[in-house]
Structure 1
Amino acid sequence: MASQRYLVIKTMFLISIAICKGMYSEIPGATMIDLKILFNANYEQISRSVSARGIGSIIGGFVGGFFMDRFSDWSDLLLAVFLTLGGLVFLFVPFVHDLGFLWFVFFATGIASGVANIAINVGVLQMWEEKAAPPLHAIHMGFGVGALLAPLLANPFLAVVADDQKNGTSAGNITFGNATEHYLKETAVQYPFVIIAFLIIGSGIPFFVYQCFHIKKHKTYSHINSEERRKPSLKEMINPATYADGSLFYGCVMFSLLFVYYFMTVGGEQMFGNFVRSFAVDNLHFSRDHASYLDTTFWACFTVGRFIGIVSSKFLSLRFLLITEVTLNFISVTTMDILATRGQSYLWGFTIAQGLIAAPLYPIGMSFGNTLVKISGVCLTLIEVAGSLGDFTFLWLTGKYYNLYGPHAILYGYQASSILVLIVGIFFLIVSCLRKDRFSRSEFASVELPVSTEVNEVKTSNLNNEKDEEIHIVKNY
C-alpha cells in the first residue's frame, strides 16, 4: 500500500509539471498582441523568437533521451535541475527588450522543456510499467489544463486598445511604423511570465527530495539493482532495429512515419493555439477580452478531449480510435477552412470542435506507435524532436505568412497539417493489419519457445536429481 501511495503522489507531482509546461507553451499565444506592443515588433518577429523554443526542445530531447536510457538512476535530479534553470531563464522573457535576446531566452527554456518531456514520460513508464496507460493520459491532460489556465492568468494584465471600447480616456499610444493605436490600459504582460516562472521552479523542488530517497534506496539494494538490467550500448540505442524486432528497414520506416505524424500534429496544434486569438481580433474583429475567452475555450475543450480519450481508450480498439481521430481532424479542419471566416459564431463553433478533436491525437499516436515499435527513451526523443521541429517551423512560417497574406495563412497551414496526419494514420493502420502488433508477435514467440525450454530444463533437473539419489543409495548400501 505504501509503495502504491508513493507512485500516486509522485505521479501527481509529474502532472503538476505537465500543467506548468502547458502554461509555458500557451502563454506566448495568449500574450502575442501584447508582446508586439512591448517589443514594438510585428507577428513575424515575435513568432520567430518564440519558435526558438522548438530548436531548444530538439537539443533537450537528445539530452533527455540519452540520460534517461544511460543514467536512469539520476532522472529525478536531472528533471529538477533543468526545471529550475528553465524557470530562472523564463523570468527574463518580458524584461530583455531585445528580440535577439528574446530568441535566446526561448531557446534556453526550450532545452529545459525538452528534457522535462522525456523525463516525465520515461518516469511514468518506469514507475507503472504495464499499467502506465492511465497515468500517461493524465499527464497529457495536465498539459491541456495548463494551456487552459494560461489565458485566464494573462487576461487581467493585457492592454486594452481604444478600438475595443467606445468610451474611455486614452492612457497612451502604440506606434507600429506609420500606424498609431490608442489604448486605454497599458500592458503589464511581464507579470504572467514571472508567475509561471516561479511555478516552474516550484514544481521541480520535490524531485530534489525524490533523488535523495532514490540514492538511499540504491545504496541499500545495490546488489539487486546491479543485476536488474543491462544498460544498452550507444550503438544499440541509436539503431532502429533495436526497437523493431531486429528489422532495420521496418524500424526506419516506422520512425519516419512517427516523425511526420508528430511534426504535423504538434505543429498544427501549436500554430492554431498560439494564433487563434490574433486571428479572431484581426479577421473577425473580436474584442481582446472575447478573443481571450475564445483562446481559453479552445484549451478547455482540448482538456476535455484528452479526458474523453482516457475513457474511450478503455472501451474501443486503438485501430478504431486512430482512424476515427485522424479522419475527424481532417474533416473539421477542412470545414473550418471553408466556413470559419463567415462570422464570429462560426469561429466559436469550430474552435470548440477542434479543441475536442485535436486533443487525443498526441497520446493516441504514442499508444498506437507502441504497438508497432518499442517506445523507449530514444523513441521518445524522436517524438520530442519531431514535435519541436513542428512547433518551430509552423510558428515561424505562420508569423511570416500572416504578415504577407493575412490571418487566412493560419487556416491554410492547419489544412496541410491535417492532410498529412490523415495519410500517416492510414499508413499506420495498413502496417498494423499486415504485421499485427508487436505484443501479439512477442506473445507468440514467448509462448512457443520458452515453455519447451523450461520443460526441458525441468526434465533435465529431475533426471540429475534422480541420478544423485541413486548414487547416494548405492553408496549407503
Structure 2
Amino acid sequence: MGCDGRVSGLFRSNLQPTLTYWSVFFSFGLCIAFLGPTLLDLRCQTHSSLPQISWVFFSQQLCLLLGSALGGVFKRTLAQSLWALFTSSLAISLVFAVIPLCHDVKVLALVMALAGLAMGCIDTVANKQLVRTYQKDSAVFLQALHFFVGFGALLSPLIADPFLSEGDCFPANGTANATSRSHLFHTSRVLGPHHPEALPRFNQSSPSLRPQHGTATRVSYAFWIMGLINLPVPVAVLLLLSKERLLTCCSQRSPLLLSADELALETQPPEKEDAASMPPKLQPKPGHEDLFSCCQRKNFKGVPYSFFAIHITAALVLFMTDGMTGAYSAFVYSYAVAKPLSVGHKVAGYLPSLFWGFITLGRLFSIPISSRVKPATMVFINMVGVVMTFLVLLIFAYNMVFLFVGTASLGLFLSSTFPSMLAYTEDILQYKGCATTVLVTGAGIGEMTLQMLVGSIFQAQGSYSFLVCGVIFGCLAFTFYILLLFFHRMHPGQSSVPTQDKPVGMENSECYQR
C-alpha cells in the first residue's frame, strides 16, 4: 500500500512531463502504421511501380534506425531532450501535411526518411527520460508509454480507411482492385525491391499508371486530419519547455542560448564542484550516453565483462522479439491466403488488425500488472508464451481457428516485452551505461533485418517456413534471455551502487530493493 502510494505520489509530482512523453509516443504510433493501408493510393499518387514504392518502406525503417542511434546525442540535458522531442513531433505533423504534395516517389521516400529520423529520436529520448524520472518504478510508466504507440498505430488506419480509393487509378483491365489492397501491401513487404518477377498479379512497371480525377486527392484529407490530430503534441512539449523555464521568452534564469562560460562547461568535462554549480536543467546526466559515446575506450576501463554481456544479450532479446513483431504483422496475411490454408482475402485482412489490437490491449493490461510483477518475471512469461504459441501454430498449421487464436495470443505475449526488458536491464545496470540506446537500436535493427530474412525464406521455401522461422526466433530469444539471467547473477550487486545514484527518498525504501 505504501509502495503504491509513493508511486502515485511520484506520478503526481511528474504529471506534466509524463503525460507529455506519452503524447509524443502517440505521435510515434500514428506515424508508424499509416503506410500499409494507404500504399496503393500513394503508389497511384506518385505514378510508381511496386519495386519503386518499396523504397519508401526501406527509407523509413533505415532512418528510424539511424534516428534511434543518433537520438542519444540530444539527451545529455533536459533542455536538449525536450527540444529534440519538440522538433521531432512537429516534424511528424509537417510530414503528414507534405505527403499529399509528393507526386514523385523519390520525394516521398525523402519525406518518409525525415519521418523515420523523427520517430527514432522520439523512441530513444522518450524512453530514456521516463527511465531517468522514475528509475526503479519505471516499469509501469514504460508499459503506458508503449500503450500509446499501439493506440496511435490503431488510430491512423481507422482515420485513413474512409478516404481510401477503390483502385480506380488503374486501367479498367488492370488486375488490382480493392480486395487486393492489403495483399499488395503485405506482398511488397515480403518481396521488397529485389523480386519484382514474383508478382505476376500486379502491374509492376506500367507507365500508364495514372490516377483518374480526384482519386489521389481523397486520401490527402486523411493525412491532413492526422497532421491536425498530432499538432497538440508539439504544443504540449512547448508547454513543458515553458514550465521548466527553458524558453528564453519565459525566463532569464535558464536561457536557451548559453553564455561563453556555460558553453565552455558544456564542451569541457567540469570538475565536481563546477558541475554542481550549473543550473539543474543544464547539468549533464551521469551515464545514459549516446551510442557513439558508449563505444569510447575510456568507458571500458574497470568495467566487468558482465556489464557488456548484459547490454549485448538484452539487445539480442529485443532484436528477436521486435523482429518477430514486425515480421509477423507483415507476413501473417500472406501466410493465411497461401496454401494450404487459402483463407479468403477479406477474412485474412483481419489478422494484422487482430495482432496489433491485442498488442495494444496487452500493453493496457500490463500497466496495472507491472506494478505487481517484477519486469524479469514478465519477460520470462512473455518468452515462454511466444515459444508455446508458435509451437501450437506449427502443430495446427492447417486450422484457421488456431491461426486467429494464436495471432491474438502472440500479440498479448509480445506486447509488454520491450518495456519490461528495458526496465529490467536498466535496473540491473543501476541506470548507468547505455542500456536504453543499445536496446532501442538493437530492436530497430531486428525489426528491419528479420522482415527481410523472413521475406526471402517465405518466397524460397513456401508459407510453412513462416511458422518455422517464428519457432526458431522464439527459441533464440528465450535462449538469449536465459543468458541474460546468467550474466545478471555474475554482475556486481546493488550494494556497489552509491547512495546518491538512487532516486531521491528511496535509499531505505523496501520498494527500491524489490
| TM-score range relative to shorter protein | 0.7 to 0.9
| 2:398 matches 1:350 | no
- The alignment-based identity, stated in percent, is 21
Query: 2: CA distance between counterparts of 1:134 and 1:396?
Result: 33
- Alignment-derived partner of residue 15 in structure 1: 22
Q: Work out which of the two has the higher radius of gyration on C-alpha atoms and give 1 or 2.
A: 1
Query: 2: CA distance between counterparts of 1:171 and 1:327?
Result: 50
Query: 1: CA distance between counterparts of 2:421 and 2:84?
Result: 27
Q: Within 5 Å, which residues of 2 pair with 1:22-421?
A: 22-31=29-38, 41-42=49-50, 46-69=53-76, 71-93=77-99, 96-158=102-164, 172-175=172-175, 179=201, 189-214=219-244, 215=246, 219-220=252-253, 226=278, 237-238=293-294, 246-281=302-337, 284=341, 286=343, 289-340=346-397, 342-375=398-431, 378-405=434-461, 407-408=463-464, 410-421=466-477
1:27 offset after TM fit, Å? Answer: 2.4
Query: 2: CA distance between counterparts of 1:127 and 1:446?
Result: 12
- Partners of 1:79 and 1:115 within 8 A in 2: yes
**Residue identity in the other structure for 1:301:** F
Distance 1:297 1:380, change over 3 A: same
- Partners of 2:316 and 2:442 within 8 A in 1: yes
Query: 2: CA distance between counterparts of 1:30 and 1:380?
Result: 31
1:136 offset after TM fit, Å? Answer: 1.8
**Residue identity in the other structure for 2:236:** P
Give 3-state SS (helix, strand or coil) of 1:314's partner: coil
**Residue identity in the other structure for 2:115:** T
Query: 2: CA distance between counterparts of 1:245 and 1:445?
Result: 22
- Partners of 1:21 and 1:113 within 8 A in 2: yes
Return 80-89 or 226-235, whichever deviates more. Answer: 226-235
Q: Deviations over 1:158-206 (max 9, x none)?
A: 45589xxxxxxx994544776469xxx9785554444334433432122
Query: 1: CA distance between counterparts of 2:334 and 2:153?
Result: 16
- Partners of 1:48 and 1:395 within 8 A in 2: no
- Alignment-derived partner of residue 511 in structure 2: none
Query: 2: CA distance between counterparts of 1:2 and 1:365?
Result: 25
Distance 1:179 1:318, change over 3 A: closer
Q: Which is richer in helix?
A: 1
TM-score (norm 2): 0.71
Return 248-257 or 106-115, whichever deviates more. Answer: 248-257
- Partners of 2:335 and 2:463 within 8 A in 1: yes
Give 3-state SS (helix, strand or coil) of 1:315's partner: coil
- Partners of 1:159 and 1:186 within 8 A in 2: yes
1:352 offset after TM fit, Å? Answer: 0.8
- Partners of 1:122 and 1:377 within 8 A in 2: no
- Alignment-derived partner of residue 494 in structure 2: 439
Give 3-state SS (helix, strand or coil) of 1:316's partner: coil
Query: 1: CA distance between counterparts of 2:351 and 2:501?
Result: 52
1:324 offset after TM fit, Å? Answer: 2.1
TM-score (norm 1): 0.76
Return 306-315 or 296-305, whichever deviates more. Answer: 306-315
CA RMSD of aligned residues (A): 4.1
Distance 1:47 1:14, change over 3 A: same
Query: 2: CA distance between counterparts of 1:150 and 1:143?
Result: 11
**Residue identity in the other structure for 2:161:** N
Return 252-261 or 207-216, whichever deviates more. Answer: 207-216
User: 5+ unaligned residues in a row in structure 2: which ranges?
Assistant: 1-7, 177-198, 204-213, 256-274, 503-514
1:348 offset after TM fit, Å? Answer: 1.2
Query: 1: CA distance between counterparts of 2:122 and 2:417?
Result: 20
Query: 2: CA distance between counterparts of 1:127 and 1:14?
Result: 11
- Alignment-derived partner of residue 475 in structure 1: none
Return 322-331 or 224-233, whichever deviates more. Answer: 224-233
Distance 1:258 1:95, change over 3 A: farther
Distance 1:205 1:302, change over 3 A: same
- Partners of 1:137 and 1:310 within 8 A in 2: yes
Count of matched residue pairs: 433
- Partners of 1:148 and 1:297 within 8 A in 2: no
Distance 1:178 1:262, change over 3 A: closer
Query: 2: CA distance between counterparts of 1:7 and 1:248?
Result: 34
Return 133-142 or 95-104, whichever deviates more. Answer: 95-104
**Residue identity in the other structure for 2:352:** D
Distance 1:230 1:119, change over 3 A: closer
User: 5+ unaligned residues in a row in structure 1: which ranges?
Assistant: 163-169, 448-477
Query: 2: CA distance between counterparts of 1:265 and 1:240?
Result: 28
1:56 offset after TM fit, Å? Answer: 0.9
Query: 1: CA distance between counterparts of 2:284 and 2:111?
Result: 38
Query: 1: CA distance between counterparts of 2:167 and 2:468?
Result: 29
